[in-house]
Every structure is written in C-alpha cells, then in structure tokens.
A = this chain, B = another copy of it.
Amino acid sequence: MVLDKGLVLMSDTRTNSGVDNISVFRKMFTWTVPGERIISVMTAGNLATTQAVISQLQERTKAPEERQHGLLELPTMFQVAVETGKLLREVISATQTDNGTRGKGRFTASIILAGQIKGMEPRLFMIYPEGNFIEASFDTPFFQIGETKYGRPIILRGYERTMSFEDAAKLLMVSFDSTLKANLSVGLPLDLMVIERDTFAPLHERRIEHSDPYFDAISNSWSEALRSAFHSLPDYSFYQPDETT
C-alpha cells in the first residue's frame, strides 16, 4: 500500500500444488542502489513462472549488455513496470506454446511492483499476466494479488493515507490473518517491508514466523475485538420502528 510517508509491503510464503504439496518460498524481492533507488517485486501465481521472471530480472542487473534494461538502470518506475510486464508476458506465453506439454492458462501469475527512484515519487503498480499494468493512486491506494477477497474488507475500512507505518503494518497483519484463517493456500511466515519515501533503503524488514509473539497477539485479540465490535452495534429487533408507526 501507498501512504503519505512511503510504501508498506507484505507477502506470504506459501506455495502449493494441491493440499499435500505445500512449500515455503519467498514471494518478495528487493533491489536497491543506496541513495538512488529501491525496487520491490511481489509475486502471485505459478511458482515456475514467477521464479523465471525474478531470475531474469536478477540476471539483467548483472550482465553488462543487459544492464540498461535492468531494474537498476532504467530511468523511471514506469519503465521498470513496462519491462517487468514484458518479461512476465514472455515467460507465460513461452509455457503456453504447443510443445507436447501445453498447459494453457495454468502457468499464469501476477506481480506487484513498488519502489522509488531519486527525484520521483514512490510508485506502486499491479502487473497482469498479459503484461499490462495499472498504477495505485490515492483513490485506490493499495493492491492485492493472489487470494485477495477475505482480507479486503478490513483494508477498505482501515486504510488512511496519513496512517503511521506501524498502523499500516498492523492493518496488513489483520488482513492476512483473516485470509490465513479462511484459506489453506495462504500461510505463514509473512514478509513485511517498510520503505520510507526518499530514503532508498528499507526502513524496516521482518519475517513473521509461526511463533511471532506480536502476530499471535494480533491474531488472538482480533477475534475478541471483532466480537466486541459486533456487540457494540445496535441490536436487531423483529419489530422495526417503521412497523410500529
């Protein structure tokens, strides 16, 4: 999500191909040029696809003849989004051509791209499997990819652009907790990163493991807090005011 103060990112680490084949893989990747740029990519979807994209992004930061198309040298976040989208589309279409093991539609993936390059604003993009993308604005200040629905209502209601990084981290944990409780395809640990504007380095990074005392506290007290919130609402009555008049 985008705040006045900068960017806050969170991703889970669960990948699965069926409920009996669950693994932990990082889905958040960050490149920095100290004092000049910080770029993070988060992925959802087919793991082979997203790993191929990440590896190629990584390669391009190294090979001298590719560096000018790499994350570390492209002049704007928009151009980074264009190149990342192109790469994502290429990887997906390579797996979907006929080669005897055609897997149409099975190797799809999406990407959230976030970061800031010196002299420009922090920017946040969501890149579709087709390679095109949209950018967050203060009307739509956050993006979700993957299993998005369970965790959406609380973000819709809790987000404020002026909120502190700490509150934003708390909000994302509550949102992930709702999804974790409802859906097996999302699982701990979670990766959290906070990027303060104009610092071009992570202000805060944490992996939230299974035994994380703060996340456990949030998870346990949120059930309680939701229940009190629920009971604080006006009670329903079978006889509504409009019927008694």
**Interface residues, chain A, with chain B CB atoms under 8 Å away:** 149-150, 152-154, 156-158, 165-167, 169-171, 173-174, 178, 181-182, 194, 203-204, 206, 212-214, 217-218, 221-223, 225-230, 232-238, 240-242
Number of copies: 2
Q: How far is the CA of A110 from the CA of B1 in the complex (A)?
A: 36
Q: How far is the CA of A227 from the CA of B236 in the complex (A)?
A: 21
A167-B236, A204-B238, A213-B240 known; A182 vs B152 contact (CB < 8 Å):
yes
Nearest CB in chain B: distance from A186 CB, A: 12
Contacts of A226 in B (CB 8 A): 154, 157-158, 226, 229
Q: How far is the CA of A196 from the CA of B176 in the complex (A)?
A: 37
Q: Which of B178, B221, B227, B236 contacts A153 (CB 8 A)?
A: B178
9 A-B pairs with least C-beta separation: A149-B149, A225-B229, A229-B229, A153-B178, A166-B236, A170-B236, A169-B236, A204-B238, A157-B223
Q: How far is the CA of A238 from the CA of B166 in the complex (A)?
A: 7
Beyond the given pairs A156-B181, A170-B236, A225-B230, 11 more chain A to chain B contacts, judged by CB atoms under 8 angstroms and listed by A's residue number, are: A154-B230, A158-B227, A167-B235, A169-B236, A212-B240, A213-B240, A214-B234, A214-B240, A221-B232, A226-B226, A228-B232
A181 adjacent to B166 (CB under 8 Å): no
Q: How far is the CA of A130 from the CA of B203 in the complex (A)?
A: 52
Q: How far is the CA of A238 from the CA of B171 in the complex (A)?
A: 14
Residue of B nearest to A160 (CB): B227
Contacts of A217 in B (CB 8 A): 233-234
A222 adjacent to B213 (CB under 8 Å): no
Contacts of A152 in B (CB 8 A): 150, 182
A213 adjacent to B230 (CB under 8 Å): no
Contacts of A169 in B (CB 8 A): 236
Q: Which of B166, B206, B236, B240 contacts A235 (CB 8 A)?
A: B166
A236 adjacent to B173 (CB under 8 Å): yes
Q: How far is the CA of A213 from the CA of B242 in the complex (A)?
A: 9
Residue of B nearest to A178 (CB): B153
Q: How far is the CA of A161 from the CA of B167 in the complex (A)?
A: 34
A232 adjacent to B227 (CB under 8 Å): no
A225 adjacent to B233 (CB under 8 Å): yes
A230 adjacent to B158 (CB under 8 Å): yes
Q: How far is the CA of A233 from the CA of B194 in the complex (A)?
A: 20
